[in-house]
Protein backbone atom coordinates (compact mmCIF):
# COMPACT_ATOMS: atom_id res chain seq x y z
CA UNK A 1 0.00 0.00 0.00
CA UNK A 2 1.40 3.45 -0.92
CA UNK A 3 0.60 6.79 0.66
CA UNK A 4 -1.74 8.62 -1.65
CA UNK A 5 -2.83 12.14 -2.51
CA UNK A 6 -6.44 13.12 -2.98
CA UNK A 7 -6.91 13.90 -6.64
CA UNK A 8 -9.87 14.86 -8.81
CA UNK A 9 -12.52 12.18 -9.22
CA UNK A 10 -12.75 13.10 -12.90
CA UNK A 11 -10.40 14.97 -15.20
CA UNK A 12 -11.36 18.36 -16.54
CA UNK A 13 -13.09 17.23 -19.69
CA UNK A 14 -12.57 18.81 -23.09
CA UNK A 15 -16.34 18.52 -23.39
CA UNK A 16 -16.62 21.74 -21.39
CA UNK A 17 -14.61 23.54 -24.04
CA UNK A 18 -16.75 22.11 -26.81
CA UNK A 19 -19.84 23.48 -25.11
CA UNK A 20 -18.23 26.90 -24.91
CA UNK A 21 -17.36 26.88 -28.60
CA UNK A 22 -20.99 26.24 -29.46
CA UNK A 23 -22.18 29.41 -27.76
CA UNK A 24 -22.76 32.46 -29.98
CA UNK A 25 -20.72 35.64 -29.75
CA UNK A 26 -23.29 37.45 -27.60
CA UNK A 27 -22.70 34.99 -24.80
CA UNK A 28 -18.94 34.82 -25.15
CA UNK A 29 -18.07 36.88 -22.07
CA UNK A 30 -20.40 34.88 -19.86
CA UNK A 31 -19.10 31.66 -21.36
CA UNK A 32 -15.50 32.61 -20.58
CA UNK A 33 -16.47 33.35 -17.00
CA UNK A 34 -18.13 29.96 -16.67
CA UNK A 35 -15.08 28.24 -18.13
CA UNK A 36 -12.71 30.01 -15.74
CA UNK A 37 -14.87 28.99 -12.80
CA UNK A 38 -14.97 25.40 -13.98
CA UNK A 39 -11.21 25.27 -14.32
CA UNK A 40 -10.36 26.88 -10.99
CA UNK A 41 -13.02 25.70 -8.54
CA UNK A 42 -12.03 23.19 -5.83
CA UNK A 43 -12.46 19.57 -6.87
CA UNK A 44 -13.77 16.65 -4.89
CA UNK A 45 -11.38 13.75 -4.91
CA UNK A 46 -10.77 10.05 -4.66
CA UNK A 47 -7.56 8.36 -3.51
CA UNK A 48 -5.21 7.61 -6.37
CA UNK A 49 -2.45 5.07 -5.83
CA UNK A 50 1.13 6.04 -6.24
CA UNK A 51 1.18 9.78 -5.58
CA UNK A 52 2.33 11.39 -2.36
CA UNK A 53 0.13 13.65 -0.30
CA UNK A 54 0.44 17.39 -0.92
CA UNK A 55 1.37 18.20 2.68
CA UNK A 56 3.89 16.37 4.84
CA UNK A 57 1.87 17.41 7.87
CA UNK A 58 -1.26 15.79 6.45
CA UNK A 59 0.65 12.62 5.63
CA UNK A 60 2.00 12.39 9.17
CA UNK A 61 -1.41 13.10 10.67
CA UNK A 62 -3.20 10.40 8.70
CA UNK A 63 -0.47 7.80 9.25
CA UNK A 64 -0.35 8.52 12.98
CA UNK A 65 -4.11 8.24 13.31
CA UNK A 66 -4.21 4.90 11.49
CA UNK A 67 -1.19 3.28 13.14
CA UNK A 68 -0.67 1.52 16.44
CA UNK A 69 0.19 3.98 19.18
CA UNK A 70 3.35 4.28 21.23
CA UNK A 71 3.08 2.16 24.42
CA UNK A 72 0.58 -0.17 22.74
CA UNK A 73 1.30 -3.91 22.81
CA UNK A 74 2.89 -4.79 19.48
CA UNK A 75 0.75 -7.29 17.53
CA UNK A 76 2.41 -10.68 17.56
CA UNK A 77 5.28 -9.57 19.79
CA UNK A 78 3.70 -8.67 23.13
CA UNK A 79 3.38 -11.41 25.73
CA UNK A 80 -0.23 -10.35 26.26
CA UNK A 81 -2.64 -7.94 24.63
CA UNK A 82 -1.05 -8.11 21.21
CA UNK A 83 -3.74 -10.24 19.63
CA UNK A 84 -3.18 -13.00 17.11
CA UNK A 85 0.31 -13.00 15.64
CA UNK A 86 0.29 -11.91 11.97
CA UNK A 87 1.34 -14.65 9.57
CA UNK A 88 4.05 -13.83 7.08
CA UNK A 89 6.24 -15.66 4.57
CA UNK A 90 10.00 -15.66 4.11
CA UNK A 91 11.69 -15.44 0.72
CA UNK A 92 11.50 -19.22 0.35
CA UNK A 93 7.75 -19.19 0.89
CA UNK A 94 7.90 -20.70 4.37
CA UNK A 95 5.33 -19.55 6.91
CA UNK A 96 6.63 -17.23 9.65
CA UNK A 97 4.91 -15.40 12.51
CA UNK A 98 6.05 -12.35 14.42
CA UNK A 99 5.77 -14.43 17.58
CA UNK A 100 8.93 -16.24 16.42
CA UNK A 101 10.89 -13.09 17.34
CA UNK A 102 9.49 -12.39 20.81
CA UNK A 103 11.84 -11.41 23.61
CA UNK A 104 14.25 -9.34 21.52
CA UNK A 105 14.30 -5.67 20.54
CA UNK A 106 12.60 -5.45 17.15
CA UNK A 107 12.75 -2.82 14.44
CA UNK A 108 9.87 -3.34 12.00
CA UNK A 109 9.91 -1.54 8.68
CA UNK A 110 6.97 -1.81 6.28
CA UNK A 111 8.34 -1.32 2.78
CA UNK A 112 7.94 -2.17 -0.92
CA UNK A 113 10.27 -2.59 -3.88
CA UNK A 114 8.52 0.26 -5.72
CA UNK A 115 8.79 2.65 -2.76
CA UNK A 116 11.12 5.51 -3.70
CA UNK A 117 11.36 6.78 -0.12
CA UNK A 118 12.43 3.29 0.99
CA UNK A 119 15.23 3.37 -1.57
CA UNK A 120 16.32 6.82 -0.40
CA UNK A 121 16.76 5.67 3.20
CA UNK A 122 18.42 2.37 2.26
CA UNK A 123 22.04 3.64 2.55
CA UNK A 124 21.36 4.85 6.10
CA UNK A 125 19.59 1.59 6.90
CA UNK A 126 22.71 -0.29 5.81
CA UNK A 127 25.00 1.83 7.96
CA UNK A 128 22.82 1.54 11.04
CA UNK A 129 22.28 -2.18 10.55
CA UNK A 130 26.03 -2.75 10.19
CA UNK A 131 26.73 -0.82 13.38
CA UNK A 132 24.41 -3.13 15.32
CA UNK A 133 25.62 -6.47 13.97
CA UNK A 134 26.34 -8.60 17.02
CA UNK A 135 23.67 -6.88 19.08
CA UNK A 136 20.46 -8.68 19.98
CA UNK A 137 18.52 -6.34 17.69
CA UNK A 138 16.28 -7.87 15.03
CA UNK A 139 15.40 -5.83 11.96
CA UNK A 140 12.35 -7.09 10.10
CA UNK A 141 11.65 -5.52 6.72
CA UNK A 142 8.06 -6.53 5.96
CA UNK A 143 7.09 -6.17 2.32
CA UNK A 144 3.47 -5.12 1.98
CA UNK A 145 2.36 -8.05 -0.15
CA UNK A 146 4.17 -8.04 -3.48
CA UNK A 147 4.87 -11.19 -5.47
CA UNK A 148 7.54 -13.27 -3.75
CA UNK A 149 9.65 -13.59 -6.90
CA UNK A 150 9.72 -9.80 -7.29
CA UNK A 151 10.77 -9.27 -3.69
CA UNK A 152 13.36 -12.02 -3.76
CA UNK A 153 14.96 -10.68 -6.95
CA UNK A 154 15.11 -7.17 -5.47
CA UNK A 155 16.69 -8.42 -2.24
CA UNK A 156 19.26 -10.52 -4.09
CA UNK A 157 20.19 -7.77 -6.54
CA UNK A 158 20.72 -5.25 -3.75
CA UNK A 159 22.11 -7.81 -1.30
CA UNK A 160 19.96 -6.58 1.55
CA UNK A 161 21.49 -7.98 4.76
CA UNK A 162 18.49 -7.81 7.10
CA UNK A 163 15.55 -10.20 7.46
CA UNK A 164 12.93 -9.68 4.75
CA UNK A 165 9.43 -11.07 5.15
CA UNK A 166 6.33 -10.75 2.98
CA UNK A 167 2.88 -9.89 4.30
CA UNK A 168 1.08 -12.15 1.84
CA UNK A 169 -2.34 -11.86 3.49
CA UNK A 170 -2.04 -8.26 4.67
CA UNK A 171 -2.39 -9.35 8.29
CA UNK A 172 0.63 -7.42 9.58
CA UNK A 173 -0.29 -4.27 7.66
CA UNK A 174 -3.78 -4.49 9.13
CA UNK A 175 -2.63 -5.25 12.66
CA UNK A 176 -0.21 -2.32 12.73
CA UNK A 177 -2.40 0.04 10.71
CA UNK A 178 0.36 0.83 8.23
CA UNK A 179 -1.08 3.03 5.46
CA UNK A 180 2.14 3.80 3.64
CA UNK A 181 5.77 2.92 3.11
CA UNK A 182 8.14 3.23 4.77
CA UNK A 183 6.50 2.90 8.18
CA UNK A 184 8.73 2.10 11.17
CA UNK A 185 7.90 0.56 14.56
CA UNK A 186 10.44 0.12 17.34
CA UNK A 187 9.46 -2.56 19.84
CA UNK A 188 11.19 -3.44 23.13
CA UNK A 189 11.89 -6.89 24.57
CA UNK A 190 8.51 -6.97 26.30
CA UNK A 191 6.74 -6.44 23.00
CA UNK A 192 5.73 -2.83 23.68
CA UNK A 193 5.91 -0.18 20.97
CA UNK A 194 8.35 2.47 22.22
CA UNK A 195 8.43 4.70 19.16
CA UNK A 196 7.30 4.86 15.55
CA UNK A 197 8.00 6.90 12.44
CA UNK A 198 6.34 7.47 9.08
CA UNK A 199 8.42 8.14 5.99
CA UNK A 200 12.15 7.90 5.33
CA UNK A 201 14.49 8.33 8.29
CA UNK A 202 18.03 9.69 8.45
CA UNK A 203 20.80 7.78 10.22
CA UNK A 204 20.72 9.88 13.39
CA UNK A 205 16.94 9.50 13.62
CA UNK A 206 17.22 5.72 13.30
CA UNK A 207 19.82 5.60 16.07
CA UNK A 208 17.65 7.77 18.33
CA UNK A 209 14.72 5.39 17.92
CA UNK A 210 16.89 2.33 18.53
CA UNK A 211 18.25 3.82 21.75
CA UNK A 212 14.77 3.51 23.20
CA UNK A 213 14.51 -0.26 22.76
CA UNK A 214 18.00 -1.64 23.37
CA angle 30–31–37, rounded 5-degree value: 90
* Residue 74: strand, helix, or coil: coil
Reported as type and span, the H/E element at residue 186 is: strand 183-187
Contacts of 177 (CB under 8 A, 6+ apart): 66, 67, 68
pLDDT at 16: 29
Pick the closest to residue 213 from 172, 185, 179, 182 (CA basis). Answer: 185
Pick the closest to residue 176 from 91, 92, 88 (CA basis). Answer: 88
pLDDT at 30: 45
Question: How far, CA to CA in Å, does 197 sit from each of 36, 142, 148, 202, 209?
Answer: 42, 15, 26, 11, 9
**Chain-centre distance for alpha carbon 67:** 11
Question: Distance between CA atoms of 122 and 114, rounded to whole angstroms?
Answer: 13
6: β partners: 47
Question: Distance between CA atoms of 155 and 153, rounded to whole angstroms?
Answer: 6
Q: What would be the CATH architecture of the domain defined by 56-211? A: 3-Layer(aba) Sandwich (3.40)
208: β partners: none
* Residue 92: strand, helix, or coil: coil
What is the chain's pLDDT, residue by residue, as a tens digit (214 residues)? 334 322 222 333 333 222 222 334 334 444 444 333 333 333 333 333 444 445 567 767 887 888 889 999 999 999 877 778 899 999 999 999 999 999 999 999 999 999 999 999 999 999 999 999 989 999 999 999 999 999 999 999 999 999 999 999 999 999 999 988 999 999 999 999 999 999 999 999 999 999 999 8
pLDDT at 23: 31
pTM score, whole prediction: 0.73
pLDDT at 103: 95
Report whether 67 contacts 177 (CB < 8 A).
yes
| Domain chopping of the chain, boundaries | 5-48, 56-211
Amino acid sequence: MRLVRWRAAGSRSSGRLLIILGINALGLVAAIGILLYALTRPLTGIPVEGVTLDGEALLQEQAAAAGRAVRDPAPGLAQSGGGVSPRLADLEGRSVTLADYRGRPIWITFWATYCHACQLEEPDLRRVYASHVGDDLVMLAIDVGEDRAVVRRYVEERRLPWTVLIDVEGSAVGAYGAIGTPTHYFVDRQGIIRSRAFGALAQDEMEAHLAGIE
